[in-house]
Chains A and B, each alone.
Chain A
Amino acid sequence: MKKNFLLVAFLFAPIFCYGELFLEITKGSDDPYRVAMIPLEGDTRISKQLNNIMRNDLIRTGEFSILDEELLLPIKIIDDELVYTDWKLLGMDYLVTGKIVKAKNSVDINYEIYDIHKKRKVRSSKIFGIPNQIRQLAHYTSDGIYESITGIKGIAATRLLYVNEIKDSKLISTYKLMLADSDGANEKILLSSSEPIISPSWSPDGKKVAYVSFETGIAKVFIQEISSGKREAVVSKDTQISSPSWSPDGKYLSLTLYQDGNAEIYILRLRDRTLTRMTNQFAIDTESSWSPKGNKLLFTSGRSGSPQIYELDLRKLNPKAKRVSFEGTYNAKASYLPKEEGIIFVHRSDGGLFHIALKYKKENFIRVLTEAKMDESPSVAPNGNMVIYGIKEGDLSMLAGFSLSGARFKLPASNGEVREPAWSNFLR
């Protein structure tokens, strides 16, 4: 008896042989990574510009607190080794230094990141700039810093689509489809029209956009190439078509068609333009969006009497929609987080206000993440840590964003009203 017990014990011993003290931590403070960023060496004008952009990029993530520039200390190096103690006394976690290298007609950045606690350099990297693209260079650098500290891919170098409506003195509106950097700078006009433009959507490679334009009098979905401006309507049928969403492999477009008497979800194969009907319901089905793996669709449906979010499993032959939102009487415009661990959507609270909410798959409650009055059309950043959405300030629509880590920001409004943001995929 004893012998076989010993044998069994011997076989299993390595599995639970933690003979050591086991402590459990249950609360924490609310304090992000503390980073000291030394202004880049080199041309002071460019350095200042770069520094500002990088700082803002990092602060917007909500995961960094950047030391004020006035509090920075001179860098001391003894025997080729950085002196860490000063920075430790300041309570810093990381130190970032770098310099600007001017090449023939571009600007490069060499930067280094030091871990103050481990007392060693954790990254030394070079970013090659493109001529006349200072902002892009700063975004790439801050993404590099973000990734090496958090292990998560940064989104500063991604881009946004949104619709800008400008009223002239006679209150006649012009609608513009705009493209901008993730911080709202560097705006470009993709399309300008006297009729409304809505629901812009990125192709996964970031080279094309799809959107709904009312230029023919009814809603039609167009695809436009960003670089050339070439555009075409995707379905030639004489019916209203709306809310395009690109599949993650870029081969399909999910759409809402109104040809059956009410709104139904269709999937369009772009190669040969064949349409497949996905829903068959007397109620409205619309606002579809793809799961990151491309095997599920989320959409909004009124089949239960109020707008709610449903999920369709595309791997099944005749998929049955599964309801995924149960709280309240209005949940709409849902999209997945990038690992499919949850969904972000618009939720109407009991007070009748519209907020952006998050529901994790494993949880049976929702988290309301915003507190304005009329929050709408959220779009999730490709790393899943930030969301951009539309708000109403006074009567004006504009864009705001938040990170799941708690930071909030507003995008500087160009003139007029801004709405319907769409966040691109990673672009590199």
Chain B
Amino acid sequence: MIANYRYLHASLFSFCIHAVIFLYIYGTFNSNTSQALLISKPLQIELKFDLPSQNTKKQIPSKVKANPSLPKQTSQDHVYSKTIETIELASNNLLIKSNISTLLSEESEIEISKEQQEISLYAQKIISTIENAWMKPRNIPEGLVANLRLKIRSSGRIIKVDLIKSSGNIRFDNSALQAVKRVETFNFFNSIPKSLYEKEFKAISISFNP
């Protein structure tokens, strides 16, 4: 009897495993393309911010890149830059597209571009502050990239720094960490609106990529 239970458990377990594998394969190959894109792609997508005084949407501020999360398709009230980007990428997806068309009434578009302007402005400030503080080590191999993740208080104070991707060169990693340490506080953070801070600037990823 006990043995039978064992077989039962084993078969149940193997059924579950196989089901997961099957669903995964089925999901990647058979789902329509946009979903596959969403899964395999969204690691680094360039954010196309609107620059102030220009209403052309294709302006790309030099080094700002975004890492969009999976869009929450249910949220009706808020569509912001990242969502739009991801959706543009997944242009095949009719469902999302129809969602956008309902969402993008003219007023909200204006709001979005204003918000994007602000994000771009503050992102540039963050970049230039860190660039000023960063000592790039000499005679290091080319193509090193280190990624840091910062947690920042609303006052602008950096409370946590994590090295999320090491470059493999200790001098390079050190220089990146040291740069952030030297910055310590972003002085302009108190001018960032509270809602924007909560959404975008609470935690940021920085890539050192000379």
A residues apposed to B, CB below 8 Å: 1, 4-5, 7-9, 11-13, 16-33, 62-63, 93, 115, 117-118, 150-152, 341-342, 358, 360, 362-363, 367, 369, 385, 404-406
Query: Known contacts being A23-B123, A23-B127, A360-B141, is A151 close to B174, with CB within 8 Å?
Result: yes
A23 in contact with B126 (CB, 8 Å): yes
Across the interface, which residues of A come within 8 angstroms of B68, CB to CB?
Answer: 19
Indicate the member of B176, B182, B203 with the most A CB atoms within 10 Å.
B182
Query: Known contacts being A13-B70, A151-B170, A151-B174, is A1 close to B204, with CB within 8 Å?
Result: no
A28 in contact with B134 (CB, 8 Å): yes
Contact of B207 among A24, A360, A362 (CB under 8 A): A24
Q: Which chain B residue lies CB-closest to A341?
A: B141
Q: Which of B1-9, B23-31, B103-111 contacts A (4 or more CB under 8 A)?
A: B23-31
A21 in contact with B200 (CB, 8 Å): yes
Across the interface, which residues of A come within 8 angstroms of B137, CB to CB?
Answer: 404-405
B141 in contact with A21 (CB, 8 Å): no
B203 in contact with A20 (CB, 8 Å): yes
Across the interface, which residues of B come within 8 angstroms of A1, CB to CB?
Answer: 30-31
B39 in contact with A369 (CB, 8 Å): no
User: Given A24-B127, A28-B179, 13 more contacts at CB 8 Å?
Assistant: A8-B24, A9-B39, A19-B68, A20-B202, A20-B203, A25-B130, A28-B131, A29-B136, A115-B181, A150-B174, A151-B170, A152-B171, A404-B138
Query: Known contacts being A28-B136, A32-B135, A405-B137, is A22 close to B65, with CB within 8 Å?
Result: yes
What string of 1s and 0s marks CB contacts (under 8 Å) between B1-45 and chain A? 000000000000000000010011011101100010011001110
B205 in contact with A406 (CB, 8 Å): no
* Bound-complex Cα distance A115 to B208 (A): 23
12 A-B pairs, CB-CB below 8 angstroms?
Answer: A12-B39, A16-B67, A22-B205, A23-B65, A23-B206, A24-B209, A25-B207, A32-B135, A150-B171, A342-B141, A362-B143, A404-B140
A25 in contact with B204 (CB, 8 Å): no
The minimal Cβ–Cβ distance linking A26 to chain B, given in whole angstroms, is 6
B77 lies within 8 A of chain A by Cβ: no
A21 in contact with B205 (CB, 8 Å): yes
Across the interface, which residues of B come within 8 angstroms of A150, CB to CB?
Answer: 170-171, 174
A26 in contact with B179 (CB, 8 Å): no
* Bound-complex Cα distance A23 to B138 (A): 22
Indicate the member of A17, A20, A26, A405 with the most B CB atoms within 10 Å.
A20
* Bound-complex Cα distance A17 to B135 (A): 30
Indicate the member of A8, A30, A342, A405 with the most B CB atoms within 10 Å.
A8
Interface size on B, residues (CB 8 A): 63
Contact of B200 among A20, A29, A342, A362 (CB under 8 A): A20
What string of 1s and 0s marks CB contacts (under 8 Å) between B109-137 and chain A? 00000000001000100110011111111
Across the interface, which residues of B come within 8 angstroms of A25, CB to CB?
Answer: 63, 127, 130-131, 134, 176, 179, 206-210
Q: Which chain A residue lies CB-closest to B24?
A: A8
B201 lies within 8 A of chain A by Cβ: yes
B24 in contact with A11 (CB, 8 Å): yes
Q: Which chain B residue lies CB-closest to A7?
A: B23
For residues 171 through 210 of chain B, which have their beta carbon under 8 Å from a beta carbon of chain A?
171, 174-176, 178-179, 181-182, 184, 200-210
Across the interface, which residues of B come within 8 angstroms of A17, CB to CB?
Answer: 69-70
* Bound-complex Cα distance A367 to B141 (A): 10
The minimal Cβ–Cβ distance linking B94 to chain A, given in whole angstroms, is 14
B96 lies within 8 A of chain A by Cβ: no
Contact of B66 among A21, A151, A152, A358 (CB under 8 A): A21
* Bound-complex Cα distance A342 to B168 (A): 14
Across the interface, which residues of B come within 8 angstroms of A21, CB to CB?
Answer: 66-67, 119, 123, 200-201, 204-205
Indicate the member of A12, A16, A369 with the most B CB atoms within 10 Å.
A16
Q: Which chain A residue lies CB-closest to B210?
A: A26
Across the interface, which residues of B come within 8 angstroms of A360, CB to CB?
Answer: 141-142
Across the interface, which residues of A come within 8 angstroms of B202, CB to CB?
Answer: 20
Contact of B23 among A8, A16, A18, A406 (CB under 8 A): A8
* Bound-complex Cα distance A11 to B174 (A): 34
The minimal Cβ–Cβ distance linking A297 to chain B, given in whole angstroms, is 23
* Bound-complex Cα distance A62 to B131 (A): 20
B139 lies within 8 A of chain A by Cβ: yes
Q: Which chain B residue lies CB-closest to A364?
A: B142
Across the interface, which residues of B come within 8 angstroms of A404, CB to CB?
Answer: 137-140, 171
B64 lies within 8 A of chain A by Cβ: yes
Contact of B139 among A7, A118, A358 (CB under 8 A): A358
Across the interface, which residues of A come within 8 angstroms of B178, CB to CB?
Answer: 33, 93
* Bound-complex Cα distance A33 to B69 (A): 37
Closest 6 CB pairs of A and B: A19-B69, A28-B136, A28-B134, A404-B139, A22-B67, A8-B27
The minimal Cβ–Cβ distance linking A428 to chain B, given in whole angstroms, is 20
B82 lies within 8 A of chain A by Cβ: yes
B63 in contact with A23 (CB, 8 Å): yes
The minimal Cβ–Cβ distance linking A245 to chain B, given in whole angstroms, is 24
* Bound-complex Cα distance A32 to B204 (A): 26
The minimal Cβ–Cβ distance linking B77 to chain A, given in whole angstroms, is 17
